[in-house]
Chains A and B, each alone.
Chain A
Amino acid sequence: MPETFIAASAPIIVQGMTGRSGRRHTQAMRDYGTNIVGGVSPRDEDVGGIPVFRNCADAVAATNAVGSVAIVPPLAVLPAILEALEAGIRTVVTITEGMPIHDAVRARRAVAEAGATWIGASTPGIAIPGRMKMGFLPDVSLSPGRLGVMAKSGTLSYEVCHRLVGRGLGQSLWVGVGGDPVKGTRFADMLPYYAADPGTDALVIIGEIGGDEEEELARRMRELAFAKPVFALIAGQAAREGVTMGHAGALIHGNVGTVDTKTAALTEAGAQVFTRIQDLVDAVAAG
């Protein structure tokens, strides 16, 4: 992970810019301050004067874009990522719900081979509050500040950050890693960046049942001797084994991926773990 995760002024393109969602999100990102320099679409329609290109290679050649937000149908996400990587894009954010897991595995491999960064499969995106956002994190929850935020759940992170902003606590860099089982960037992947970032004083982790990302984060915290305070919320206490709760990744099998295993691992690594939103918000405000 580079020390600068992505520059606030980085030139960004939107793949699938002329679709219904593409138009809406492109406009909103630009209004927020993101340096949107182009879009990719088979259709020749610009969006608010932003030029549209046939493919990523043309878009990158004309604009020097380094980042891309892909807003394409589920089965088109993998091809979009491969096209972006081929064109030299360094950071890809994919917001679509429903990318097949086997596609995500292939995307991960291609991203790793290219030495690039992928946020997704399904994510509300990332934001450097007050400067730029890639995706659709809601403005009402965004505010410049000193908390590093990482979340599996979009809506739960909106809620938590909205309350924190209400207490005067904003974010340095917010990364929605998403709720898919196989994803581009996991909690632990971001830890070195947050450790090195002088703009981040503490971490807020919005986790949930399923998988082992929280456990992996705990291991990485110990390996790096991560010294900043970590506050974590784990959703899904009331979930049953074998029942998916909305996110494909939020599924308990046997004794793996429960709130208890995650809480134990993170607590041992020095994090404060909560099951109620208000308890976390109060602790962050007090800390």
Chain B
Amino acid sequence: MMLLEHDAKELLAEIGLPVPRGALVRTGDALPLMPPLVVKAQVPVGGRGKAGGIRPVRDPADLDAALASVLGMTIKGHDVRACRLEETVDFAAEAYLSFTLDAGAGNVRVLMSPHGGIEVEDETTRAGLLGEGVPADPKALRATVDRLSVRMPETLRTPMREAGRALVDAFFAYEAVLLEINPLFVRADGSWTIGDAKLSVDENAFPRRPRLQRLIEDNPDLYREAALKLEQGFDYVLLDPDGDIGLVTTGAGLSMQVIDELTGRGRRPYNFCDIRTGQFRGDPARLCQVLQWIAEGPSIRSVLVNFFAGHTDLGEIARLLLIALEAVPQLRAPITARFIGNGLDQAREIVAAAGDPIAIETDLERAIDLAIERADRGEPAHA
């Protein structure tokens, strides 16, 4: 997962890398820094500058307005919930450095260029960009940094070697998937600091990287999905606040596909979820939680459940789903469940005995069409 620039810089600073003085502010926070400074939108995507999410502010009188306008932005679908205020840096050169785990090659791709700045996003067209694939080993990476930095313009050689070596340590300390510094500011005296940092980390490494886990837990408003996953143990993403079809689905790929099938029919699904039925172990808590979130959707008119049970028992799932529906009476939309696999007959019996509050289908196409029909009919929930 991509960390916000502010957090990436704080993490780098914690292990001794130089970063410009800065602070994170949310709406209403006191301002710990005054202009001249740069207001930087904190969203986990590239292209913030082009979208207007990076604003230099010289006059203190302009800060409130600049901050308010950036905090009100949405960049590539991400609401800007916080900004980093950062001191302005005087620099003589902007360089580029990155370390990327190359999933295909199974090694680390090191890129270095004397020309930083936003254009580097299109790597292949850059002149002066040096790259090498290296085994994921600190010693090999440091040697590569040394080798590549020698080929930089003379004034950049030492700063890029130093920065590169420090970044190698950071790459392993945080089990990074991507660590990109663009630009690396190099001052006239040869000292350097980090202009922008992209640090993507691996959630699977959190059990042995408590610092990273704490970062997410401390900022659940900024890392909504990741914080939820840490807290709940499954994936949930709010896709479209005005969506009218809520989804209770399991399996990452099939859950994504159900969303595609709905959008392909011109519909607006409310959420993504991979609830992991295999981990229920007799507890309806996850179902209750997801149904509660769906019930918060102001436009919800239909709920589609899709469980392809390879191993889980559908009778048990149906029983838990009925308990969850009872526990979330505020959910007023009709429930359509696609069940297939072990225990289907038992699931039917259990649902029938409860007065058929759930429409069961075995075919996914039919279940999707039925959930849509019921949304369009404005069918009330079964009492």
Contact = CB atoms under 8 A, between A and B. Distances in A.
A136 interface: yes
B355 interface: no
Interface string B209-242: 0000000000000000110000000010101000
Contacts of B261: 276-277
Contacts of B46: 253-254
Contact of B256 (A98, A137, A236): A236
A240 B76 contact: yes
Given A101-B204, A155-B255, A244-B1, A238 B250 contact: no
A276 B45 contact: no
Given A181-B103, A242-B44, A276-B260, A102 B175 contact: yes
A8 B264 CA distance: 40
B106 A244 contact: no
Interface string A151-186: 111111111001000000000000000010111001
Nearest to A213: B104
A159 B204 contact: no
Given A179-B253, A182-B106, A276-B260, A101 B365 contact: no
Nearest to B274: A246
B207 A138 contact: no
Given A245-B235, A277-B364, A98 B204 contact: yes
B101 A105 contact: yes
B45 A242 contact: yes
Contacts of A238: 239, 256, 259-260, 263, 269
Interface stretch (A52-60, A204-212, A221-229, A265-273): A204-212
B208 interface: yes
Interface string B242-259: 000000001111111101
Contacts of B257: 153, 156, 159, 233, 235, 277
A250 B205 contact: no
A157 B155 CA distance: 55
A266 to B, nearest CB: 16
Interface in B276-324: 308, 310-311
Interface stretch (A43-51, A80-88, A106-114): A106-114
B121 A246 contact: no
Interface in B358-382: 364-365
B329 interface: no
Interface in B129-162: 135-136
B106 A108 contact: yes
Contacts of B136: 102, 105-106, 109
A212 B121 CA distance: 17
Interface in B171-210: 172, 175, 177, 202-205, 207-208
Interface in B1-43: 1-2, 43
Contact of B77 (A108, A154, A241, A251): A241
A155 B226 CA distance: 22
Contacts of B253: 151-157, 179, 206, 208, 235, 246-247, 250
Nearest to B135: A109
B204 A74 contact: yes
Nearest to A112: B106
A100 B135 CA distance: 17
Contacts of A137: 310
B340 interface: yes
Given A153-B252, A246-B256, A275-B264, A182 B308 contact: no
Contact of A136 (B101, B259, B310): B310
B44 to A, nearest CB: 4
A235 B252 CA distance: 10
A154 B259 CA distance: 17
Contacts of B45: 241-242
A9 interface: no
A61 interface: no
A156 B364 CA distance: 12
B235 A241 contact: no
A140 interface: yes
A240 B77 contact: yes
A182 B177 CA distance: 10
Interface string B80-110: 0000000000000000000001011011000
B341 interface: yes
Nearest to B307: A155
Contact of B254 (A24, A159, A183, A253): A159
7 contacts: A28-B311, A101-B175, A153-B251, A159-B257, A239-B256, A241-B76, A245-B235
Given A241-B77, A277-B364, 20 more contacts: A28-B311, A99-B204, A100-B205, A102-B175, A105-B106, A105-B107, A137-B310, A138-B308, A156-B253, A156-B257, A158-B310, A179-B253, A212-B103, A235-B254, A235-B260, A238-B239, A242-B43, A253-B2, A253-B46, A277-B261
Interface of B: 1-2, 43-47, 76-78, 101, 103-104, 106-107, 121, 135-136, 172, 175, 177, 202-205, 207-208, 225-226, 235, 237, 239, 250-257, 259-261, 263-264, 269, 272, 274, 308, 310-311, 340-341, 364-365
Interface of A: 24, 28, 74-75, 98-102, 105-106, 108-109, 112, 124, 136-138, 140-141, 151-159, 162, 179, 181-183, 186, 206, 208-209, 211-213, 216, 233, 235-251, 253-254, 275-278
